[in-house]
Each structure stands twice: as structure tokens, then as C-alpha cells.
């Protein structure tokens, strides 16, 4: 088993690195951080999980990961951990197996943590860690977050969206009360916390030295970023079919929009009152993509973000 102390903070690089390592044959323990990003689960509708205006205003990256489960927020106050192992197919999905070493390290710091009903790590009745898994053949990838001193306000604002806007069959995130680990510890900063967790995990798994990424590793990860992780097709287009319904406040009236999307493409788009339906027809068959709406002429009074 190898240990990777991953210091790059680009969310797309880190997610692509997980897939690259997952496709290999080494068992892996990795710690990593990402700058401000929202990471949705593989089977989620990205637009229904994010507060798009806030995301754009705050410059928050949006990414999709390899595993299922709900949406999480990353910033530099959040520490992520990844386990990748080879095992017996029927025994691969085992959240307790991977949460126990992390909770053992946390509890040794004086924190009374426990596994929640949705495979999260709980502290004082609040969530400090969301977790998800992905399996293929005889390989399992388990990863989780650890809120140390994240910006909880930005986390809440960036994920807050009216669930009634979207009709779809995508996996929905479950909102939970969260807390930062730093609020329950004194005299320890983020780097000390990271070192403590790294030391504990290496001791528990008998790992003696860190693994340094090779130039080949980096090249293959960068190819994955370009071909998948940073593409609109993966981040937004991969979402299940959905219908977006919203009301827009215009100067003299309310306008109701309904947009049906399948495989990322607009199948139908209508408005009520219906005077704009003719002008909206040009969007049929086009990707439901913000950049597209920003580049095309819109009906008077409407902005590109109104269609999202």
C-alpha cells in the first residue's frame, strides 16, 4: 500500500488523479485539498444541486466525481481522504472498514466521533464528513471529506437551491447540520491536523514512506482532465433527463419558463404567457449551457442566467 500526500489544490486534477490511481493496481491512501469547488455525485443533476448565481459570483468551480452519493463543498479548510483497494467483489462496499481508521485517528485527538446513518462521520450530533464509494470489478474507491475550518456560510449558500424547480430522477442530496472540527479542538491548526491524520493512517496501515507522482502519472492525469473532468459533457451534460420550471420577475409581469432537457440537450422550451415561444424555438436541440445563452440573442428583458 502506498501513501500520497497530495498538495495540488486543483479539484479537477485531484478527481482525475483518483480515477488514474483507481485504474492501477496499487492499494492507496491519499490526503488532499481542493480550492473552492462544488463536487456532485456521478448520478446527480448538477444544476439542481447548485445555486448557480452564487457559484458564478463567487468563482466556485463545479466538478463531477466518479462515485455516487450527494453533493459536497470543498475549500482549503476541508481535508479529503481517499482509500483505494483491491478485494473480493462481494465484500468491496464496506463504509465501516474505511471510516474506522479515520475515526480512530480523530478520537485519539479527543474527539468523540461516530458513524452516522448515511455513512457520514458525526461529531456532537452534527456532520463533519460525507463519504461515497465506487467499485469496478475487484477495485473499490472510498473517499470522504473532513470539515476542519471550512467556510460554512459559503457552503450553505452555494448549495441552496429551490428543489421545486427541477423534476428529475437524479440522486438528491440530503441536507445535514454540519460543524467544523476546529470548533471542537483547541491549540491545533489545519497543517497540524493534517499531519496527525497522515501519521495515524500510515501507522495503522504499516506504510513507511510517501509515494511521489511520476511524470507519467501527471501526464495521464492531465489527459483525463482534458478529456473528461473539465468538460461540460461530464460536469453538466452527464446529468439525467430533467425539466426545469421557474418563474422570472419582469418589469411588468411574471414569466413562467419550462425547459425539458435530455442528455444535456434542450428537447423543448416554452413560456407562459406564450408570446416568446417563437423566439425560444431556436434553443431546441442546443446544449443547456450557460455559455450558449450568453452568446445568443435573448428575448428582451431576459438574461442568460434566467434559463438556469
- pTM, entire model: 0.92
Low-confidence ranges of the chain (pLDDT < 50): none
Do residue 25 and residue 149 come from a single domain? yes
The pLDDT of residue 275 = 87
Q: Which domain holds residue 272?
A: 241-307
Do residue 181 and residue 282 come from a single domain? no
The pLDDT of residue 175 = 58
Domain-ending residue, one of 236, 264, 295: 236
The CATH number of residue 214's host domain is 3.30.930.10
Say how many CA atoms lie within 13 Å of 28 toward its Cβ: 28
Q: How far apart are CA 206 and CA 22, in angstroms?
A: 20
Q: How far apart are CA 40 and CA 33, in angstroms?
A: 16
The pLDDT of residue 245 = 92
Contact 155, 128 (CB under 8 A): no
Do residue 154 and residue 260 come from a single domain? no
Cis peptide before 273 (omega within 30 of 0): yes
Nearest to 71 by CA among 45, 36, 33: 45
Do residue 75 and residue 185 come from a single domain? yes
Sign of CA dihedral 23, 26, 28, 32: negative
Kindly report, residue by residue over 175-200, the tens digit of the pLDDT: 568 999 999 998 999 999 999 999 99
Domain-ending residue, one of 236, 263, 281: 236
Do residue 203 and residue 287 come from a single domain? no
Q: What does the mean pLDDT of the chain come to?
A: 93
The pLDDT of residue 201 = 98
Domain-ending residue, one of 236, 261, 289: 236
The pLDDT of residue 65 = 98
Do residue 229 and residue 263 come from a single domain? no
Do residue 88 and residue 161 come from a single domain? yes
Do residue 230 and residue 264 come from a single domain? no
Q: How far apart are CA 121 and CA 124, in angstroms?
A: 10
Q: Which three three-digit cell numbers place residue 244?
A: 426545469
Contact 4, 30 (CB under 8 A): yes
Kindly report, residue by residue over 133-148, the tens digit of the pLDDT: 999 999 999 999 999 9
The number of folded domains in the chain is 2
Any residues with CB less than 8 A from the CB of 304 and at least 6 apart, and which? 290, 293, 294, 298
Do residue 187 and residue 260 come from a single domain? no
Contact 69, 94 (CB under 8 A): no
Do residue 17 and residue 112 come from a single domain? yes
The pLDDT of residue 174 = 58
Do residue 275 and residue 180 come from a single domain? no
Amino acid at each position: 500500500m502506498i501513501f500520497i500526500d497530495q498538495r495540488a489544490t486543483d479539484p479537477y486534477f485531484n478527481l482525475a488523479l483518483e480515477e488514474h490511481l483507481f485504474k492501477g493496481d496499487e492499494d492507496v491512501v491519499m490526503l488532499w485539498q481542493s480550492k473552492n469547488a462544488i463536487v456532485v455525485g456521478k448520478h446527480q443533476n448538477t444544476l439542481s444541486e447548485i445555486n448557480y448565481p452564487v457559484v458564478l459570483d463567487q468563482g466556485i468551480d463545479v466538478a463531477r466525481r466518479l462515485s455516487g452519493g450527494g453533493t459536497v463543498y470543498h475549500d482549503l479548510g476541508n481535508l479529503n481522504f481517499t482509500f483505494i483497494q483491491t478485494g473480493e467483489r462481494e465484500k468491496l462496499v464496506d463504509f465501516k472498514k474505511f471510516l474506522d481508521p479515520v475515526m480512530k485517528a480523530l478520537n485519539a485527538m479527543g474527539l468523540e466521533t461516530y458513524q452516522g446513518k448515511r455513512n457520514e462521520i458525526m461529531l456532537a450530533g452534527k456532520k463533519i464528513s460525507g463519504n461515497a464509494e465506487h467499485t469496478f470489478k475487484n477495485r473499490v474507491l472510498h473517499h470522504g471529506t473532513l470539515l476542519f475550518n471550512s467556510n460554512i456560510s459559503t457552503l450553505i449558500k452555494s448549495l441552496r437551491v429551490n428543489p421545486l424547480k427541477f423534476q428529475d430522477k437524479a440522486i438528491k442530496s440530503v441536507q445535514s447540520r454540519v460543524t467544523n472540527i476546529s470548533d471542537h479542538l483547541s491549540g491545533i491548526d489545519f497543517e497540524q491536523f493534517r499531519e496527525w491524520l497522515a501519521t495515524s493512517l500510515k501507522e495503522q496501515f504499516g506504510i513507511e514512506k510517501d509515494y511521489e507522482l511520476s511524470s507519467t502519472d501527471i501526464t495521464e492525469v492531465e489527459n483525463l482532465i482534458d478529456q473528461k473532468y473539465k468538460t461540460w459533457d461530464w460536469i453538466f451534460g452527464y446529468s439525467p433527463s430533467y425539466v426545469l420550471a421557474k418563474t422570472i420577475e419582469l418589469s411588468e409581469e411574471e414569466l413562467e419558463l419550462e425547459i425539458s432537457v435530455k442528455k444535456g440537450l434542450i428537447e423543448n422550451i416554452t413560456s407562459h404567457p406564450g408570446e416568446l415561444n417563437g423566439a425560444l424555438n431556436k434553443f431546441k436541440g442546443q446544449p443547456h449551457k450557460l455559455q450558449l445563452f450568453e452568446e445568443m440573442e435573448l428575448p428582451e428583458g431576459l438574461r442568460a442566467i434566467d434559463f438556469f
